[in-house]
Amino acid sequence: LNLHSPLIQIKPMMSREWEYFDGRCYFFSIQRTSWVKAKTKCQNWNSHLAVIHDAAKQNFIQSRTRNEHFWIGLTDVDTEGQWRWIDGTDYNNGFTNWSKGEPNDAGQREDCAQIHGAGEWNDVPCNYEESFYICEKPLPS
């Protein structure tokens, strides 16, 4: 088992739905749900919604989410305009990939982020039920 291959699927340690990339495991849902429900589902699997902190992870994720909408672990629900990653990763000095003109808080209701289309990010109402989601967690020790 070569763990250095970035696209290898870990089968002995995890169920087939989880994929390995760069030291972490990722689950790409096949069901759509709201951001809050997705957050809870990830927590139930000892994981969290995906945090995208660099171009390599962005490229890995967008290669699996082509032309679909997937929730990521980014929100400004606590304070409008202050985006926060769900795991505490620094947002203000970190990697971003917003679509042109986003985030725009259209209708003053868009507080949760999703990756969509060609991989750009968009802010959307958190109760929007038509988005898949991505969970991530460290490799089991």
Q: State the pLDDT at residue 1.
A: 47
Question: What's the pTM?
Answer: 0.86
| Best CA proximity match to 133, nearest among 47, 36, 32 | 32
Looking at the domain assignment, is residue 17 inside a domain? Answer: no
Looking at the domain assignment, is residue 78 inside a domain? Answer: yes
Element (H, E) at 69: none
pLDDT digits (tens, 9 = 90+) for 56-102: 999 999 999 988 999 999 999 999 999 999 999 999 999 999 999 99
Whether residue 103 is preceded by a cis peptide bond, meaning omega within 30 degrees of 0, is yes
Looking at the domain assignment, is residue 86 inside a domain? Answer: yes
Provide the residue type at 137 as one letter: K
What token pair was written down for 38?
Answer: 């997705």
pLDDT bin (cut points 50, 70, 90) of residue 16 is low
Looking at the domain assignment, is residue 103 inside a domain? Answer: yes
pLDDT bin (cut points 50, 70, 90) of residue 36 is very high
Looking at the domain assignment, is residue 4 inside a domain? Answer: no
Q: State the pLDDT at residue 107.
A: 87
pLDDT bin (cut points 50, 70, 90) of residue 118 is confident
CATH number of the domain that residue 73 is part of? 3.10.100.10
pLDDT digits (tens, 9 = 90+) for 37-68: 999 999 999 999 999 999 999 999 999 998 89
Q: State the pLDDT at residue 10.
A: 42
Q: State the pLDDT at residue 139.
A: 86
Instruction: Provide the phi-psi class of 62: left if phi over 0, else alpha when psi is between -120 and 50, else beta.
Output: alpha
Looking at the domain assignment, is residue 114 inside a domain? Answer: yes
Looking at the domain assignment, is residue 121 inside a domain? Answer: yes
Looking at the domain assignment, is residue 3 inside a domain? Answer: no
* Number of separate domains in the chain: 1
pLDDT bin (cut points 50, 70, 90) of residue 119 is very high
Say how far apart CA 15 and CA 68 lie, in whole Å: 23
Name the residue range of residue 97's domain: 31-131
DSSP label at residue 139: P
pLDDT bin (cut points 50, 70, 90) of residue 11 is very low
Contact 101, 7 (CB under 8 A): no
